[in-house]
Amino acid sequence: MVEHVVSEYMVDRPHLTRRLGEALSCPLTLLVAQAGAGKTVLLTQWVAQHPSLSMAWIDVESADNDPVRFARRLLAALAEGKPEVSRLGALSALGGTGLGDPLLKALHEGLQSDSDLVLVFDDFHHLSNRTLLMDVGRLVAMLPPNVHVIMSTRVDPPIPWSRLRLTNRLIEIRQADLAMTHDESAEMLGRVVGRDLSPAATDLLIARTEGWAAGLQLAGIAVKLHTASDAFIAEFSGNDRLIAEYLTEEVLGAISAERRRLLLQLAPLDTMTAELVNHVLERSDARLVFRRLEDESMFFVGLDTSRTAFRFHQLFRDLLRYHLRSEDPDEERRLLARAADFHLKRSEWGPAIEYLLRAEDWDRALDAVLACGSDVFERGEAGTVIRWITTVPEAAREERLDTWLQLAMLVGMQGEVARTAAMLRRVANDSRATVGQRIIAEAWTSATAQWSARPEECIRAAERAIALLDEHPDAEPPDLMHLTSRMLLRTLALGSGGRARFLDGDLAGAEEWLTAALTTDGISYPPFRVGVLGSLALLDGWCGRTLEAELLAAEAVETAGMSGLLSHPVIADALLAQALVARERAHEDDAATLLEDARVRAEANHRTQLLWIATFERAARCAAEGRFDDALELVDVARHDAPSAPAPVILDRLIGLRMSVLRRMGRPAEALHLVGADQRCTPTVRFEMHAASLALGDTAAAATLLRQGSDRVSAGRPRDEVGDLLLQAWAAELTGSHETALGLMGAALDVAEPEGLVAMFVEPDVAVVRLVEELAGARGGLSDAILTRWGRIAGPHANAALAEPLTERELEILTHLPDHSTSAELATLCFVSVNTVKTHTAHIYRKLGVSGRSAAVAKARELGLIAVSRPDR
């Protein structure tokens, strides 16, 4: 038997050697794959694992098409495994054009034995003598059960094996089976290169070689030979010298000129179907061509189970394209143009544009890009179209304003606001721009609101777009991605203007513009409808109108679900609105889940302002849980530069939250210092200024609050109304007007009850909670939810603030002290001894700095460690 040495670079592939082990149960095993797939190495590894097995190995060569030579080599190989076969040598000269019946019969009889014999034909594709091939087929059929044939070949032998297949007596290991796994590929590369490559470089080489063993080895050798390996890896292709030489010698050099020409003509095509190939090559036998390429293992990869779509292995394809471009560049361009025509007729824009770009047919490529529909926007594939446009040299698109507009729209969808604004302003100010093009420029400038820290620019752009639409009723904008009709541009400008007004703090104007957008014809376009509904829901939630926010957000989510937009960034507004409502109602778990979903959608195309709202909601949650340091870090806006800074309405809430956290940490004076002379006196900031003054015990500020009443509060904004009433109730309590305080707190609860506003009541001060507690006996409902929330969030932080915090057991016993339970009853409730209860009680008194039970209960209530006592109902 011929000795085969396994390369030191090869890796063990136990799953394949186990598969080969099944050869001992079948008469025939076929290994069919392209050059360098590792067939011989696999066979050698398997043979090495079975040293006691009788083997006969023939490396088939072209000269073996001589029947006499083949017969002699066959008998010589068999004699190594079965010495008794050597006596049949004289029969080898009787073959004539084939092996001949006498030899076949003699082999059948002479090879019968109790022990197994494996006959390996390696590189069987070199055998082309048809008579000899048929005789080999007869040989396999006649061999005794103890003999097993393994054929390694690049091409399926033209021998009928249907009977073996039908009886499950044929094992087939093909190209896909031999492709090396990622781990196997990485191991081989490491062995060849002799040093560690970065994961990114390894992944790139593996992706390019697609598990092709020879390709991996050659790639590794090439990397080893290049000092600037990172740059080489980035450019690695089938044009690399070692790869090119191997494929040229092993594949292209071994086929006819006609076959080589066919491969070169197919090379420009990416995904090949019979219809495409027949059109491009002007022939009608593409399916037969595919079958032959598969049979010949011509680096031909099937892309679907129905075997209707194919492509070449990347490295082989690159080599073919290189040869075609070098030998006949005009033919390459002609083939690419025909492929593009085929796809354009079917409105298959993606492949058509790719072919036109490779053909450097810039004008037709840009025409096709402009013809793309809105599905690019809906599927979130803006990046692909941006690449198409920017592949065209800038000089070739300099005069095409429509292309600049479309590029700006797409870049805007990616969140690159500065670049978008510059391109849109360029078109709007271009003297050649039509009114329609200017309308597009202004409307899509306004659409950058959720990415911009300066919403006033978007407001002005929206106003200009609406004015142009009204002043020029006959102006028709060019059709860009089916997103630039007059009705869609009006909806876009109104919706974007509403968002910009919201972000600028003009809540009434925002509501007016967003509501107007809902009445336009363009609102029937699902992404616009989802976006406007979500933005209006967010506005309502921001104002405390949780019921309306909940309904609008639910409609937005339902529309998104029916339109396949649940993963699109446009749903982020609605999800944020739902998260905000859940937090206001103290449904923390729901709020956290919704907030994360919203953040992921907004992050998908960097909607900066929505991400700031998400940051505010996270900080508010931290503050509610007593994690004040975390909250302060989140609202530290000074850490962010201008382009990513929060818009005014969000900045207002962030400053207000920072003031609230400082006040609740016992630093109200520091909270007041946050308000600068240029700070807008918004409801949020005004609330916190008054709250800080009240926390400092400023009775003059309290009296001023009571005199002002609620005249400053805009109707229809429950959050502001409740906040103002809470401050007045707190002020009344501070000045000793307890009954007035109770009346004002009752009014606050009346406003908050329909909307379920809970969170607001636990933010000001324990005095506010005490007023709620006093009213709870007669009201229940929202007051119970407020007290439950207070009990959950006040305890941990208050306990942590003690010089010596109470243990979990001490906190448990503390909650039972107001019930006047005896020590024995407490012991039973807590499953401990009476002595243990007494010990824990003593520790509680000491840590709270009191001398008895009543004092401990009062101090715990003051600190918020336990709920304030509730009057009997």
Cα(719)–Cα(584) distance, integer angstroms: 10
Angle at 831 between CA 829 and CA 837, to 5 degrees: 80
Cα(338)–Cα(342) distance, integer angstroms: 6
Could you say which of 508, 524, 540 is where a domain stops? 524
Task: Return the higher-pLDDT residue of 433 and 296.
Answer: 433
Contacting residues for 676 by C-beta, under 8 A, at least 6 apart: none
- Copy the structure tokens of residue 325: 């471009």
| Window from 154-158, 609-613, 692-696 with minimum mean pLDDT | 154-158
Residue 363 confidence class, pLDDT cut points 50, 70, 90: very high
Helix (H, G, I), strand (E, B) or coil at 477: coil
User: What is the reported pLDDT for 641?
Assistant: 56
DSSP 688-722: HHHHHHHHTT-HHHHHHHHHHTTTTSPTT-HHHHH
Residue 573 falls within a domain, yes or no? Answer: no
Mean pLDDT of 289-306: 76
Residue 12 confidence class, pLDDT cut points 50, 70, 90: confident
User: Do 115 and 64 sit in the same domain of this protein?
Assistant: yes
User: Do 171 and 191 sit in the same domain of this protein?
Assistant: no
HSE, side-chain direction, 13 A CA sphere, residue 31: 27
Cα(861)–Cα(866) distance, integer angstroms: 5
For residue 30, count CB atoms less than 10 angstroms from its CB and return exposed for 0-12, middle for 13-18, buried for 19 or more.
buried
Cα(867)–Cα(815) distance, integer angstroms: 9
User: What's the chain's average pLDDT?
Assistant: 84
User: What is the reported pLDDT for 491?
Assistant: 98
Question: Could you read off the pLDDT of 257-269 as tens digits, one per residue?
Answer: 898 899 999 999 9
Question: Could you read off the pLDDT of 220-245 as tens digits, one per residue?
Answer: 666 665 655 666 666 666 566 666 66
Contact between 582 and 549 (Cβ < 8 Å):
no
Cα(440)–Cα(437) distance, integer angstroms: 5
Residue 218 confidence class, pLDDT cut points 50, 70, 90: low
Cα(297)–Cα(304) distance, integer angstroms: 17
| Window from 178-182, 297-301, 601-605 with minimum mean pLDDT | 297-301
Query: Letter for the amino acid at 526?
Result: P
Cα(294)–Cα(789) distance, integer angstroms: 69
User: Do 95 and 143 sit in the same domain of this protein?
Assistant: yes
Question: Could you read off the pLDDT of 390-438 as tens digits, one per residue?
Answer: 999 999 988 899 999 999 998 888 888 889 999 999 999 999 999 999 9
Q: Is the sign of the CA dihedral 407, 413, 419, 421 positive or negative? A: positive
User: What is the reported pLDDT for 95?
Assistant: 47
> What is the DSSP secondary structure assignment for residue 154, as one 8-state letter?
S
Mean pLDDT of 348-362: 93
User: Do 113 and 213 sit in the same domain of this protein?
Assistant: no
User: What is the reported pLDDT for 251?
Assistant: 65
- Of 751, 737, 674, 750, the residue nearest 707 (C-alpha): 737
Q: 837 to each of 133, 331, 646, 818, how far by Cα in Å? A: 96, 95, 53, 15
Task: Tell me the CATH number at 858.
Answer: 1.10.10.10
Q: 244 to each of 87, 211, 235, how far by Cα in Å? A: 47, 17, 14
Model confidence at 299: pLDDT above 90 = no
User: What is the reported pLDDT for 132?
Assistant: 87
Residue 334 confidence class, pLDDT cut points 50, 70, 90: very high
User: Do 207 and 290 sit in the same domain of this protein?
Assistant: yes
| Window from 123-137, 169-183, 777-791 with minimum mean pLDDT | 777-791
Q: How many domains, the chain?
A: 4
User: Do 501 and 444 sit in the same domain of this protein?
Assistant: yes
Residue 257 falls within a domain, yes or no? Answer: yes
Helix (H, G, I), strand (E, B) or coil at 723: helix
- Of 550, 548, 534, the residue nearest 450 (C-alpha): 534
Could you say which of 524, 544, 578 is where a domain stops? 524
User: Do 199 and 308 sit in the same domain of this protein?
Assistant: yes
Task: Return the higher-pLDDT residue of 734 and 828.
Answer: 734
User: What is the reported pLDDT for 836?
Assistant: 84
Model confidence at 545: pLDDT above 80 = yes
Provide the 10 A C-beta neighbour count for residue 114.
5
Contact between 67 and 95 (Cβ < 8 Å):
yes
Cα(513)–Cα(856) distance, integer angstroms: 56
User: Do 79 and 216 sit in the same domain of this protein?
Assistant: no
Question: Could you read off the pLDDT of 444-488 as tens digits, one per residue?
Answer: 999 999 998 889 999 999 999 999 999 999 999 999 988 999 999
Q: 753 to each of 115, 141, 536, 540, 584, how far by Cα in Å? A: 90, 88, 22, 16, 12
Q: 323 to each of 248, 260, 278, 293, how far by Cα in Å? A: 10, 10, 22, 19
Contact between 441 and 428 (Cβ < 8 Å):
yes
Residue 149 falls within a domain, yes or no? Answer: yes
Residue 93 confidence class, pLDDT cut points 50, 70, 90: very low
Provide the 10 A C-beta neighbour count for residue 245.
12
User: Do 198 and 284 sit in the same domain of this protein?
Assistant: yes
Residue 349 falls within a domain, yes or no? Answer: yes
User: Do 120 and 245 sit in the same domain of this protein?
Assistant: no
- Copy the structure tokens of residue 527: 């992404």
User: What is the reported pLDDT for 677?
Assistant: 52
User: What is the reported pLDDT for 297?
Assistant: 62
Question: Could you read off the pLDDT of 34-53 as tens digits, one per residue?
Answer: 777 778 888 888 888 888 88
Tokens 């050698």 locate to 44
Cα(475)–Cα(427) distance, integer angstroms: 16
Residue 308 falls within a domain, yes or no? Answer: yes
Residue 383 falls within a domain, yes or no? Answer: no
Residue 711 confidence class, pLDDT cut points 50, 70, 90: low
Contact between 540 and 548 (Cβ < 8 Å):
yes
> What is the DSSP secondary structure assignment for residue 569, as one 8-state letter?
G
Task: Tell me the CATH number at 466.
Answer: 1.25.40.10
User: What is the reported pLDDT for 799?
Assistant: 74
Residue 271 falls within a domain, yes or no? Answer: yes
> What is the DSSP secondary structure assignment for residue 840, as one 8-state letter?
H
Measured in residues, the chain has a length of 873
> What is the DSSP secondary structure assignment for residue 57, as one 8-state letter?
E
Cα(257)–Cα(388) distance, integer angstroms: 36
- Copy the structure tokens of residue 788: 């439950």
Tokens 């715990």 locate to 860
User: What is the reported pLDDT for 336?
Assistant: 96
Residue 738 falls within a domain, yes or no? Answer: no
User: Do 210 and 63 sit in the same domain of this protein?
Assistant: no
Structural domain harbouring 271: 183-363
Cα(494)–Cα(517) distance, integer angstroms: 5
| Window from 27-31, 109-113, 430-434 with minimum mean pLDDT | 109-113
User: Do 414 and 334 sit in the same domain of this protein?
Assistant: no
User: What is the reported pLDDT for 3?
Assistant: 45
Question: Could you read off the pLDDT of 824-870 as tens digits, one per residue?
Answer: 888 777 667 788 888 889 999 999 988 888 888 878 877 777 755 44
Task: Tell me the CATH number at 81.
Answer: 3.40.50.300
User: What is the reported pLDDT for 296?
Assistant: 67
Cα(761)–Cα(468) distance, integer angstroms: 48
Residue 154 confidence class, pLDDT cut points 50, 70, 90: confident
User: What is the reported pLDDT for 366?
Assistant: 93
